[in-house]
Amino acid sequence: MINATAGGPSPVPAVPDVYAVIWVHADVPSQGSTDDWELGSWHASWTPQEHAGAVQDVRDAIGRGDVYQVNVVGHASAPYTGNPAAALRRVAALPGARYGGVLAGPGGRWAIATASPETLVEVRDGRVITRPIKGTRPATAAGHRELLASAKERAEHIMIVDLERNDLARLPGTGPVRVDELFAVRRWSGLWQAESVVSAALDGDVGLAELLRAVCPGGSVTGAPKHAALDRIAALEPVGRGASMGGLGWIGHDHVDLGLSIRTVAVDGARVHAWAGGGITADSDPADEVAEAAAKAGPLRAALAGTVTGAA
């Protein structure tokens, strides 16, 4: 288990740290409409200049040899009135989401919507699998070429793949860890993102707690070395990550499939919260990193506002 400096408090304390639902297949009627939903103005927990300053702080830490890479995440929230159900469903329907869905707490006190494309951990047919994502460009032909040609993005990506290989190798009873796919470019909403597939054979003696200790928190949203990266995150980010950057998915009698809760929003009855960021390396440009975080948050905000319907 990773022991690191605690980060800031969650901006959504109504959302519990762990929540489990016993799933029963049933037809559930659609609830909520856009008629009574009104979204206010967004307020960020830090300014673009403060975000850029955090990026430079990480670059300085890399220069000192404290870390190799740190994922820096920003948070923003907006007030709302009315029923958020339809808006949350629009978020979950964004294209490219491997894990798209809405989870609501009892009595409507809180809810989470995710459109995550990234697998934190999957166990199926005797193998444990993770699919780290690192590297982003606009979903254009030029963006595709840029992502494939970027030495900076590839180095950042491979660093996290190595970290994930090490995480899986820590599991007892795992066979050789292998990289099944490296730097495959896939689309999420209006962005290209680079994904790899890392897996290992797994015997039947590994429990869920051991599995989660090995892979949590996810390497692609922390950095390397993981412990040192978490210390930098705690020192730099003004608020906690709340429901974002965790795990959300399914646990069955014969499989586990948890998505990393990036591209996730949370509501608490008064405000809607969203997080976005990116991995920082020695070659990161602060202004570019601020722009990348905004690009990742853009589809979430548009879906909440009803200006997109989830079409590609």
134 is catalytic: yes
153 is catalytic: no
From the list 38, 50, 122, 134, the catalytic residue is 134
Residue corresponding to tokens 């830490």: 61
Given a contact cutoff of 8 angstroms between Cβ atoms, the answer to whether 104 and 89 are in contact is no
Given a contact cutoff of 8 angstroms between Cβ atoms, the answer to whether 222 and 80 are in contact is no
100, β-bridge pairs: 115
DSSP state of 108: G
Given a contact cutoff of 8 angstroms between Cβ atoms, the answer to whether 39 and 304 are in contact is yes
Given a contact cutoff of 8 angstroms between Cβ atoms, the answer to whether 104 and 111 are in contact is yes
109 half-sphere exposure, CB direction, 13 A CA radius? 8
Q: CA of 22: how far to CAs of 105, 108, 250, 252, in Å? A: 13, 18, 10, 10
Q: What is the C-alpha separation between 132 and 19, in angstroms, rounded? A: 24
User: Alpha-carbon torsion 289, 184, 228, 6, what sign?
Assistant: positive
Per-residue 3-state assignment (H helix, E strand, C coil) for 118-157 = CEEEEEECCEEEEECEEEEEECCHHHHHHHHHCHHHHHHH
Residues 6+ apart with CB under 8 A from 127: 199, 200, 201, 202
Residues 6+ apart with CB under 8 A from 235: 5
From the list 118, 156, 237, 292, the catalytic residue is 118
Q: List active site positions.
A: 118, 134
